[in-house]
Structure 1
Amino acid sequence: MRIAVAGGTGWIGSLVVREVRERGHAPVVLARSQGVDLLTGKGLGDALRGVSRVIDVSNIATLSLKRAAAFFETATPNLLEAGQRAGVEHHVTLSIVGCDRVPTGYYIAKHRQEQLVHDSPAPTTVLRATQFHEFAAQMLARTDAGPVKMVPRMRTQPIAAAEVAAALVALALGDARGSTPELAGPEVREMTDMVKQLREATGQRALVVPLRLPGAAGKAMAEGALLPAEDGPRGAITFDAWVAERAAAEAGTSSAA
């Protein structure tokens, strides 16, 4: 089966592509580096020829509502409409737990994307997932403030990105469900503590400073609006286990060097 992955060269997209291959199917990467532009539609029709499933993990790195909305409100309809013309049987979109409860620009735009998918006549499924374990590494890797890392106060139930990728592919291989139960990790954690734990495990010296974002969005994030609102599937990989594996990998890389 040919399964297209929109954003397949990105961080989560590359894991989805790998999962597709491991399940014995043929991934089709939809990305500008592969001659496909979701915003203009260039190359999209040709790329979807013979594709029966689409998994959309395309993304834009911004906190701006204007930029995020412009991306999702253009790319998502283009992908849905091209998929219908190509006879795609199931379109799966990755979204975020709590995007309808945290009024920041990016989350608002993701919620709009969900609405576009649900309003489409195409057979679709939206999977909401919590923040990935890898989000802590992204916070620690930020270089805009040098050795000081401002980490938002955020209660979350983090999950390994590889488990999200596996869930997306499993959903895509099934029938369209519209909405599906929210996917989260095995335990509730505070993002600041996660970043500190990863810093210590990997021997970094960054100063981690908790930051409560202002307004309703900051209050919502700090008080658990990003936690799943109902029972649903839960990942098995704890943050502790993920950190231990990452620290061991980094130590091995350093020893090899």
Structure 2
Amino acid sequence: MRVVVAGATGRIGSRTVARLRDHGVEVVPVSRRHGVDVITGDGLDEALRGAEVLVDVTDAPARTEGAGLYFFRTATTNLLAAAVAAGVEHHVVLSAVGANLLWSDYFRAKLLQEDMVRNSPVPHSVVRATPFFESIEAMVEKNTYYDRVRVAPVLVPPVSTEDVAVTVAHVAVGLPLFGLREVAGPDVRRLDELASEVLTARDDKRVVVPDAQARYFGAELRERTLLPGADAHVGHVSFTEWLARPVVPTNG
């Protein structure tokens, strides 16, 4: 089996490539680092030649207004065209739990991406993930006002990127779902409590303030917006385990 992974050098993509190779399949990584650009389309036809499966775990490089819609519309158009030309038999795309419920540029863009894949002639599977652990940490920074972090007190089962990659790889080597597979973390917690745990673990003195009006990357939340369905695949890594891991410093 020959599987092309678009977004192969990202947080999810690199793990997905590793898990697919664990399945013994031939993996073709696609990213600008590999000389392929999903926005311009450069190199896509060659990369997908002979591929049976296309996995799309790309992500928009910016969260500014309109950036998500532009990225996912353009990238998905190019990927689908190349997939059809190559005779790809299965297109797997990674999306987000709540994409159909959350109204912000990013989540509208993810829903558009899903719809484009569903309406294409290529058999498809959509994997929706709950918020990644790293997203909770990023939200803390985005929602900080002076020494206060305002977070909506809603329920969420955050998931590890490793568990997401395992699910994406498993779906990719199976038959097309022509529908959804959801993946979530093992523990359902309140979002504001998770934010407080991040600050405590990082010895950060900021204070989390529960605020029902606080946004999640631009989206207004309801109590159950970030909860998956009852048949979601449940991962193994807990948020507490992830927080206990050493923080790897970044260069620069």
Give the alignment's TM-score, normalised by structure 2. Answer: 0.86
Tell me the CA shift for residue 73 of structure 1: 1.2
CA shift at 1:210, angstroms? 4.4
Question: How far did residue 140 of structure 1 move?
Answer: 4.7
Q: What letter is aligned with 2:100?
A: D
Equivalence for 1:157: 157
* Deviation per residue, 1:209-251 (Å, 9 max, x gap): 445336x942xx142212113432211222222222x2xx24x
Instruction: Give the conservation status (yes or no) of the 8 Å contact 1:3–1:52.
Output: yes
Alpha-carbon spacing, 1:22–1:116, altered in 2? closer, same or farther (3 Å): same
Distance 1:117 1:65 in 2: 23
State whether residues 153 and 222 of structure 1, in contact with CA within 8 Å, keep that contact through their aligned partners in structure 2. no
Runs of 4+ in 1 over 3 A off after TM superposition: 61-65, 139-154, 204-211
Q: 1:45 & 1:73 partners in 2: Cα distance? A: 18
Distance in 1 of aligned mates of 2:151 and 2:182: 25
1:16-43 deviation per Cα after TM superposition (whole angstroms, max 9, x unaligned): 1221222223322211121111111111
Unaligned stretches of 5+ residues in structure 2: none
Please give the alpha-carbon distance, in whole angstroms, between the structure 1 residues aligned to 2:65 and 2:149. Answer: 23
What do the CA deviations read for 1:115-168 (whole angstroms, capped 9, x no partner)? 000000001111111111222233356698786555455431111110110110
Query: For residues 162-203 of structure 1, what are the alpha-carbon distances to aligned partners after superposition, in whole Å with 9 as ceiling and x for unaligned?
Result: 011011011110111111332222222122211221222233
For the 8 Å contact 1:139–1:149, the answer to whether it is kept is no
Name the residue aligned to 1:185: 185
Match of 2:31 in 1: 31
Whole-angstrom CA distance in 2 between matches of 1:25 and 1:206: 46
Letter in 1 for 2:175: D
| Aligned 8 A contact 1:182 1:230 in 2 | no
Does the 8 Å contact 2:54/2:88 carry over to 1?
yes
Deviation string, structure 1 residues 66-86 (Cα, Å, up to 9, x no partner):
221111111112101201211
- C-alpha distance in structure 1 between counterparts of 2:99 and 2:64, whole Å: 14
Distance 2:34 2:144 in 1: 30
Correspondences of 1:189-200 after superposition (within 5 Å): 189-200=189-200
For the Cα contact (< 8 Å) 2:159–2:238, is it kept in 1? Answer: yes
| Deviation, structure 1 residue 113 | 0.8
Distance 2:27 2:34 in 1: 12
Point out the structure with the larger helix share: 1
- Aligned runs of 1:46-85 on 2, under 5 Å? 46-64=46-64, 66-85=66-85
| In 2: Cα distance, 1:230 partner to 1:55 partner | 25
Which stretch of structure 1 is more off in the superposition, 179-188 or 165-174? 179-188
Local SS of the residue matching 1:174: coil
- 2 CA distance for matches of 1:147 and 1:206? 5
Matched-pair contact (CA < 8 Å) for 2:143–2:151: no
User: In 1, are the aligned partners of 2:125 and 2:181 still within 8 Å (CA)?
Assistant: no
Distance of 2:14 and 2:149 partners within structure 1: 27
Instruction: List alignment gaps of at least 5 residues for structure 1.
Output: none
8 Å contact 1:154–1:190 — kept in the other structure? yes
Coordinate RMSD, CA, aligned: 2.6
Cα separation, partners in 2 of 1:30 and 1:201, compared to 1, 3 Å: same
Alignment of 1:1-257 (within 5 A): 1-64=1-64, 66-140=66-140, 149-211=149-211, 212-213=213-214, 217-218=219-220, 221-244=221-244, 246=245, 249-250=246-247
Q: Provide the TM-score with structure 1 as the length reference.
A: 0.85
Is the CA contact 2:130–2:228 (under 8 Å) kept in the aligned structure 1? yes
Return the alpha-carbon distance in structure 2 between the equivalents of residues 101 and 44 of structure 1.
32
Relative to structure 2, which stretch is displaced further, 168-177 or 193-202?
A: 193-202
Which shows bigger deviation, 172-181 or 200-209? Answer: 200-209
Deviation (angstroms), 1:62: 4.0
Identity of aligned residues (%): 37
